[in-house]
Amino acid sequence: MEIILIQDVPNLGFKDDIVTVKDGYGANYLIPKGLAILALPSEKKKLAETMKQRAYKEEKVKKDAEKLAEKLRDIEVKIGAKVGTSGKIFGSVNALQIAEAIKEQYDIEVDRKRIVVDGDAVKELGVYTAKINLHKEVRFDIKFEVVGE
pLDDT at 15: 93
Residues in the chain: 149
Output the CATH code of domain 69-148. 3.10.430.100
Would you say domain 2-66 falls under CATH 3.40.50.2300?
no
- Give yes or no for residue 62 having a pLDDT over 80: yes
In the chain, the percentage of residues whose pLDDT exceeds 90 is 71
Give the C-alpha separation, 86 to 88, whole Å.
Answer: 6
**CA separation for the pair 103, 107 (Å, rounded):** 4
Say how far apart CA 126 and CA 110 lie, in whole Å: 22
The domains of the chain are located at 2-66, 69-148
Tens of pLDDT, residue by residue over 98-149, are 999 999 999 999 999 999 987 777 888 899 999 999 888 888 899 999 998 8
Q: List, for residues 1-13, the tens digit of each pLDDT value.
A: 999 999 999 999 9
Report the alpha-carbon distance of residue 26 to residue 33 in Å, rounded: 10
pTM: predicted TM-score of the whole model, two decimal places: 0.68
Are 2-66 and 69-148 in the same CATH fold? no
The closest alpha carbon to 5, from 124, 83, 21, belongs to 21
Q: What is the pLDDT of residue 135?
A: 87
How far apart (Å, rounded) are the C-alpha atoms in residues 27 and 37? 9
